[in-house]
Amino acid sequence: MPVSPIDWDDGTIRLLDQTLLPEETVWLNIKDIHELAEAIKMLRVRGAPAIGIAAALGVAMAANNFKDHDITSFYDHLDTVIDTLARTRPTAVNLFWALDRMRTVLSEVSVKTVEEHCQRLLAQALAIQADDRATCRIMGKYGAALLSDSPTVLTHCNAGGLATGDYGTALGVFYAAQEMGKTIRVYADETRPLLQGSRLTAWELMQANIDVVVLPDSAAGMLLASGRIEAVFTGADRIAGNGDVANKIGTYPLAVLAKRHQVPFYVVAPVSTFDLSLASGEAIPIEERHGDEVVNGFGRRTGPKGVKVFNPAFDVSPAELITAIITEHGVIRPPFTPGLAAAAERSLWKQVDDGLP
Ligand code: MRU
């Protein structure tokens, strides 16, 4: 069973501190919104769906902490809380999607008491977490069906249980393949500079007894040229209306290499990662992080003090490099625009419980 990185425990958010993996397994007890904002900024909790779940639970926690106040100051306080969380990380749209859902619940006019708001906000946050767990399992099955019986695949960053409710998007495909009885070998890009591939993906795949091999990002070209890779699978942080995909820095060169070597490049992401308000990936805000992550990472200076550093946390892979986008509503192939719009619409219907499978 893949690990669940976020738990709700009677008013406290329990987070597995991902900055300490794989050496230490430390759970944080988050009781305050500023602690949560720090945990998101510092990547103690990370990965697009997990950030959304943590933020939603954060709103529920803040509401619960403020439940003894009058309703007007309650609304003002939660506005500030939502703004604080929205300022933590700019690229993963799941954060804003989850906060929007919480805001919608909060704006329900028929609710007249703080107590009832608190109950509804918590129910909504837990539903976001439960939906994500179910969604990842569905995407996993769609993705695994594309694989042979003994596939060797390549992935980048961590799009696993640690990055979601508990199962993963790209790694969910590998878990589903294993559940179907396939024998899978996963090559995991190390993922400079924060090493989500070697620290997190390798750790969680080993926990699940999946054969995993870590490689430096720069070895991916050689590996793809060797013909050993059946397909590349990654997650996504934001998908624009035309199918351009923002994901962890280094995904774009991987997509170029996959195309060059005619290896299918699959992106696995739920509808909560779509941003159809953006026509293309050019408009996706890309987070830039501190240069120390590159030249002074993990407590070891690897570049001269004071050197200038370029450290974007994400890049955008153009739609033309992507073979298919695997969602909870099926596998979308180019041209992506109509398929993405149809999947998003289907998700909207699901929110009003239309009885669709
Ligand atoms: O900076 P991170 O570790 O939050 O970046 C995570 C990624 O880029 C993941 O690939 C993406 O969020 C998809 S997770 C299912």
| 41 band by pLDDT with thresholds 50, 70 and 90 | very high
- Which ligand 1 atom is nearest residue 170's CA? 15
Please list, residue by residue across 290-304, b when 16 or more beta carbons sit within 10 angstroms of its beta carbon and e when fewer do: ebebbbbeeeeeeee
| 47 band by pLDDT with thresholds 50, 70 and 90 | very high
Residue 357: pLDDT above 90?
no
Nearest to 94 by CA among 46, 137, 35, 61: 46
Quick check: is 10 catalytic? no
Secondary structure (DSSP) of 48-62: HHHHHHHHHHHHHHH
Measured in angstroms, how far is the CA atom of residue 114 from the centroid of ligand 1?
Answer: 35
**Ligand 1 pocket check for 48: Cβ under 6 Å:** yes
- Sheet with 27-30, strands from edge to edge, namely 6-9, 12-16, 27-30
| 1 band by pLDDT with thresholds 50, 70 and 90 | low
Measured in angstroms, how far is the CA atom of residue 235 from the centroid of ligand 1?
Answer: 7
Measured in angstroms, how far is the CA atom of residue 157 from the centroid of ligand 1?
Answer: 7
| 355 band by pLDDT with thresholds 50, 70 and 90 | low
Can you tell me the distance from the alpha carbon of 105 to that of 127, in angstroms, rounded to the nearest whole number? 12
3-state SS, residue 152: strand
Nearest to 175 by CA among 215, 147, 213, 217: 147
Taking CA atoms only, the protein residue closest to ligand 1 atom 15 is 159
**Ligand 1 pocket check for 169: Cβ under 6 Å:** yes
pTM: predicted TM-score of the whole model, two decimal places: 0.97
Question: For the domain with range 137-353, which CATH number is right: 3.20.20.10, 3.40.50.10470, 3.40.50.1100, 3.40.50.1980?
Answer: 3.40.50.10470
Can you tell me the distance from the alpha carbon of 311 to that of 241, in angstroms, rounded to the nearest whole number? 26
**If you compute the radius of gyration of the chain from its CA atoms, what whole number of angstroms results?**
20
Q: Average pLDDT in the 279-284 region? A: 98
CATH number for the region 6-134 comes to 1.20.120.420
Any idea where the domains of the chain sit in the sequence?
A: 6-134, 137-353
Measured in angstroms, how far is the CA atom of residue 24 from the centroid of ligand 1?
Answer: 21
CA terminus-to-terminus distance, the chain: 25
Active-site entry in 237, 244, 275, 315: 237
Can you tell me the distance from the alpha carbon of 269 to that of 171, in angstroms, rounded to the nearest whole number? 11
Residue 2: pLDDT above 90?
no
Residue 242: pLDDT above 60?
yes
